[in-house]
Amino acid sequence: MKKLAFKMYLKEGTLATYKKRHQEIWPELKTLLKSSGIEEYSIYYDEETNCVYAFQTCEELDSQALGDNPIVQKWWKFMSDIMKTNSDFSPKQSNLIPVFDLDKPV
């Protein structure tokens, strides 16, 4: 099982919209994530930085292949008005480096 953590950057004043859109996540996107081997996916908000921090557990996943999926690309474009994005509408993100795991050394 692979663990991934990363942060993404919200535009100012968009947290409520971000939360609402995730509460209404598209069923086809949820199905795609689960069928791609993602078993856990949680997102947390940090008020000080206006960033969201995501944590996933998954089977070996080719994240590039997931980003090439039309459903994911449509979601990125849908979210681009409230998040900082790259030119392809993918969210700007920074991977987080693991420094501690209760169950095993990192």
Per-residue pLDDT of 39-94, as tens digits, reads 899 999 999 999 999 999 988 766 657 899 999 999 999 999 999 999 999 999 99
Instruction: Tell me: pLDDT of 106 over 90.
Output: no
Structure confidence at residue 62 (pLDDT): 62
Residue 34, pLDDT score: 92
Q: What is the largest CA-CA distance in the chain?
A: 39
All structural domains of the chain: 2-95 (3.30.70.100)
pTM score of the predicted model: 0.90
Query: Which residues are known catalytic residues?
Result: 22
Angle between helical axes of 70-79 and 15-23 (0-180°, round to 10): 150
> For the purposes of burial, counting CB atoms within 10 Å of the CB of 10, is it exposed (0-12), middle (13-18) or buried (19 or more)?
buried
Distance between CA atoms of residues 22 and 26, nearest Å: 8
Where helices occur in 1-106 by DSSP H, the ranges are: 15-23, 27-35, 63-67, 70-79
